[in-house]
Amino acid sequence: MLDYLLFGALPYVALAVFLIGSIYRYTKKGFQVSSLSSQFLEGRKLFFGSQFFHWGIVMLFFGHLIGFLIPNAVVAWNGSPVRLLVLEFTAFGFAISSLIGLLLLIKRRATTKRIQMVSNYMDYVVYLVLFVQIASGILMAYYGRWGSNWFASVMTPYLRSVFAFNPNVDLIAQLSTSNTMALLMVKTHIASAFLIIGIIPFTRFVHFLVAPFDYIWRKYQLVIWNWNHKEIRTSRNYFPGKSRDFKNN
């Protein structure tokens, strides 16, 4: 029963809250969408914490994404034991990196007076769920082994069934392994992942939704006109106000 709640219902609750909440916050509360950087108040301790954590978590995110998008390629890559080991150790390394970073960040927030002035309860909730997420992932990898193969063959079909609105909960519920610890960690990891998605709109997690990828192809300089100066002078154009968001650079 719990399995059905966690892997059948929770995903949809989380995704619905995530979608509605994020769109509402982005469109109606744009001023509150920020990474809330505290580097200005404390920069030195932030360096190792933030770098270790973010690079680790970003790599892990894309690793999971690749496993979800092209599971066959992952399985094929893992065909050779050496390549499997390389992949597993790399992923494990990034996980350790993000865990160390997270612990450094928690210590920084807990011990720096200036940072405490800009902290709220949700910051600590974020730390808690991130810790559960990363620690369960690491323990799972330690007890279970070869998670990349398992992700491609079990997790990807499950996630696809979730997105197809036909959740195949049995894939997760009937997982069997000799190691009960690994099983517990897998389930924790999945449930906690959906929890994180669900609380995105209520926490500083929103900043990863506005990651500035468009900066890569944007022009450096940005000039915005209030209205189209050139069109105002042509009497033939009866409705020049159409160019409402006229941008010219």
Partner 1 sequence: MNIRSQIAMVFHLDKCIGCHTCSVACKNIWTDRKGAEYMWWNNVETKPGTGYPTKWEDQDIYQGGWKKDGDSVSLKGAGKLKGLKNIFHNPNMPVLDDYYEPWAYRYQDLFDAPEGDDQPIGRAVSLITGEPIEIQSGPNWDDDLSGTPDYARQDVNFKHLSQAEQEAMFQLEKMTFHYLPRICNHCLNPACVASCPSGALYKRGEDGVVLINQERCRAWRMCVTACPYKKSYYNWNTGKSEKCVLCYPRLESGQPPACMHSCVGRIRYLGVMLYDADRIQAVASCDESEIVDRHMDIYLNPNDPAVIKAARENGIADSTIKAAQNSPVYKFVKEWKIALPLHPEFRTLPNLFYVPPLLPAMASVSADGTYDTVSEHLLAGVEKLRVPIRYLSSLFTAGNDDKVMDVFKKLHAVRVSRRDTTVKDVTDKQLNTVMNEASIDVDTANAIFRLTSLATFEERFVIPAAHREEAIEMLENTGDYKGSTGFGFKEKPARGL
Residues that bind partner 1 (CB under 8 A): 30-31, 33-43, 46-47, 50-51, 53-55, 113-114, 117-118, 207, 210, 212, 214-216, 218, 220-233, 235, 238-241, 244, 248
Least separation in angstroms between CB 158 and partner 1: 32
Residue with token string 């997105």: 163
Nearer to partner 1, 160 or 207 (CB): 207
Least separation in angstroms between CB 93 and partner 1: 17
Q: Which residues contact 157 (CB under 8 A, 6 or more apart)?
A: 168, 171
> CB atoms < 10 A from the CB of 102, how many?
22
Helix axes 10-28, 180-199, angle to 10 degrees: 30
Nearer to partner 1, 71 or 101 (CB): 101
Least separation in angstroms between CB 111 and partner 1: 13
* The 3-state secondary structure of 36-89, one letter per residue: CCCCCCCCHHHHHHHHHHHHHHHHHHHHHHHHHHCHHHHHHHCCCHHHHHHHHH
Least separation in angstroms between CB 220 and partner 1: 4
Least separation in angstroms between CB 210 and partner 1: 5
Q: How far apart are CA 149 and CA 75, in angstroms?
A: 6
Phi, psi of 247 (to 5 degrees): -120, 140
Nearer to partner 1, 89 or 225 (CB): 225
Burial-class residue 2 by CB neighbours within 10 Å (0-12, 13-18, 19+): exposed
Nearer to partner 1, 41 or 66 (CB): 41
Task: Name the nearest CA neighbour of 48 among 92, 133, 107, 114.
Answer: 107
Nearer to partner 1, 115 or 199 (CB): 115
Nearer to partner 1, 55 or 131 (CB): 55
**How far apart, in Å, are the Cα atoms of 133 and each of 120, 186, 195?**
21, 10, 10
Least separation in angstroms between CB 236 and partner 1: 8
Least separation in angstroms between CB 175 and partner 1: 35
